Structure 1
């Protein structure tokens, strides 16, 4: 069983290497942008998964760490001329610092209370950014002048950006793979299963939670820099929105929390679906995609609580469980 799991994880990482070569076979600008979006959201969902999926810390304020990464690297670039490659590390360290501070204050909270605390933090940060107009540009945000060059993390075509975000996704997946098989990973598994039992076994649950959320915040901030220097515009209503936090969590949940490949599978389903719905119903039903998101999430919780990864890993077992569930429900209706 252990060898099977290791082989599956290795195959997952191999699949995530493939997007690095996409620009060799695809030259269409729109197609490359579409691939970039899938890889970008897969990276963000994977970053969220380090805390939400493995540690069970259901954060709905992860956009705060994403926004810290974006604003830090952009401000360092615009004000001081510091390369975004350095700025992204500074932003990641700053986000991890905030995560440790917020975590120390809130990680004793559980369930919905922790989620509400993370939402409050993200909202406070958004309001602060809006009001610091001289530094952050306020609600209008900051625009980045286009200056192609590897040192500026800007590319004349989309191919370079696709390779960059694919490399980011692969790096996060490798970190996840290492964490999953480390002592920290076993502690996270015990914590997620039963926190009180984990404490009884000697697991320092507070320390483990802090490490997981700091690591998650760091890589989320890296995604913020990649986004900023691709879009060339950041504004608080986008990079610090609760909608961004929810989409990160949604993709990880639908794909399969606590797995290496799950968030990428979630992004592969949700991004094309949202693009289609937004294009198809842009004029008449602008919020329809949110309704569809909600319906998908409800169905996943009801029929596949472990996400789409349960189907990928064990299609026969999933089919048996669904069939058994259907028979049980029919039996209950017959008894009634």
Structure 2
């Protein structure tokens, strides 16, 4: 896989940084701001799912459950136990990391489709527990009244740019963390296990340990995004565990391109915006999005991110042809 040259990567980083700085000043409308915040939070979830699905090759359907559980942990900690906001986010991340480790340790004893079935069953178990424990979780209605986040006495306002900036910072921190992780020896080890497990194990890599660690690592920023999501919407709802949201975020990973990180981020922003723009079509919009995804995967099997790589290769080949 060809990578852009260092000057191009630096230029792209500068452009992204400028866009991040300007975004809170450009997006001022309430509806547009809400859409951007949701898109950025979903981008965090999708890119972290890519760590297990794309890089590690783990068919893990519990990922969206980690997002939802974090929201409920934050809501319960603040509403019932009076835990200070921000501290409840740290608690949510810790709880979800433990759950991710336990789920991975149990599910990864299996292989292939059975891992997907066990993790999907975990999601359904979470939904059943949340709906049945109405006294604690609010049941099917959800837990309403999650307080806004506050920093140094300043309460983050949903109507201002506060949550948008927070979502931006969360996405940037998550992306830096993921890039560091996939380029490390750990990242190389999970890719080796994905591509040739027998050879990787023969070279001394522990398959179970590395995959469990990948699941835990992918849950950290996902949990942080889930907690912020609950504070932003002031409600923790069982709708987060719905099959529609799971398929939407999975579509972001597949459409953007597995094992790329940046691809799912691009697709998350694009799909969130497109879904909102097609809201007037009702349920038909899901059919339209499905057709777009199928066409993209048909002509770009590597996802949207592979389009940039193809253009880079074509440009390089054309230069070599001119030089020849």
Normalised by the shorter chain, which TM-score bucket? 0.7 to 0.9
Which residue in the other structure is 1:303 paired with?
299
Deviations 1:86-118 (A, max 9, x none): 111111111111111111111133332211211
Unaligned runs of 5+ in 1: 320-336
Q: Give the deviation of 1:299 after TM superposition.
A: 2.6
Deviations 1:193-227 (A, max 9, x none): 22222222222111111111111122211111111
Which residue in the other structure is 2:166 paired with?
164
Distance in 1 of aligned mates of 2:108 and 2:303: 25
- What does residue range 62-81 of structure 1 map to in structure 2 within 5 Å? 62-81=63-82
Q: TM-score under structure 1 normalisation?
A: 0.85
Distance in 2 of aligned mates of 1:205 and 1:153: 45
1:315 aligns with 2:316: no
Q: Give the deviation of 1:119 after TM superposition.
A: 1.0
> Residues 5 and 220 of structure 1: is their aligned pair in 2 closer, same or farther, counting only changes over 3 Å?
farther
Q: Give the deviation of 1:125 after TM superposition.
A: 0.7
Matched position secondary structure for 1:139: coil
Distance in 1 of aligned mates of 2:6 and 2:260: 12
Distance in 2 of aligned mates of 1:131 and 1:258: 38
Which residue in the other structure is 2:176 paired with?
174
Distance in 2 of aligned mates of 1:297 and 1:318: 24
> Residues 145 and 69 of structure 1: is their aligned pair in 2 closer, same or farther, counting only changes over 3 Å?
closer
Distance in 2 of aligned mates of 1:301 and 1:10: 29
> Residues 231 and 86 of structure 1: is their aligned pair in 2 closer, same or farther, counting only changes over 3 Å?
same
Matched position secondary structure for 1:130: helix
Distance in 2 of aligned mates of 1:182 and 1:5: 20
> Residues 6 and 216 of structure 1: is their aligned pair in 2 closer, same or farther, counting only changes over 3 Å?
farther
Which residue in the other structure is 2:237 paired with?
235
- Verify the 8 A CA contact 1:141 1:234 in the aligned structure 2: yes
Which residue in the other structure is 2:39 paired with?
38
Q: TM-score under structure 2 normalisation?
A: 0.88
- Verify the 8 A CA contact 1:38 1:271 in the aligned structure 2: yes
Q: Give the deviation of 1:269 after TM superposition.
A: 2.1
Matched position secondary structure for 2:44: helix
- Verify the 8 A CA contact 2:148 2:231 in the aligned structure 1: no
- Verify the 8 A CA contact 2:4 2:312 in the aligned structure 1: no
- Verify the 8 A CA contact 1:50 1:258 in the aligned structure 2: yes
- Verify the 8 A CA contact 2:41 2:167 in the aligned structure 1: yes
Distance in 2 of aligned mates of 1:101 and 1:84: 26
Unaligned runs of 5+ in 2: 316-324
Distance in 1 of aligned mates of 2:125 and 2:77: 22
Distance in 2 of aligned mates of 1:69 and 1:145: 13
RMSD: 2.4
Moved more, 247-256 or 151-160: 151-160
Distance in 1 of aligned mates of 2:209 and 2:11: 31
Which of 174, 184, 187 is residue 185 of structure 1 equivalent to? Answer: 187
> Residues 72 and 5 of structure 1: is their aligned pair in 2 closer, same or farther, counting only changes over 3 Å?
farther
- Verify the 8 A CA contact 1:33 1:158 in the aligned structure 2: no
Matched position secondary structure for 2:253: helix
Q: Give the deviation of 1:67 after TM superposition.
A: 1.4
- Equivalent pairs counted in the alignment come to 313
Which residue in the other structure is 1:23 paired with?
24
> Residues 5 and 207 of structure 1: is their aligned pair in 2 closer, same or farther, counting only changes over 3 Å?
farther
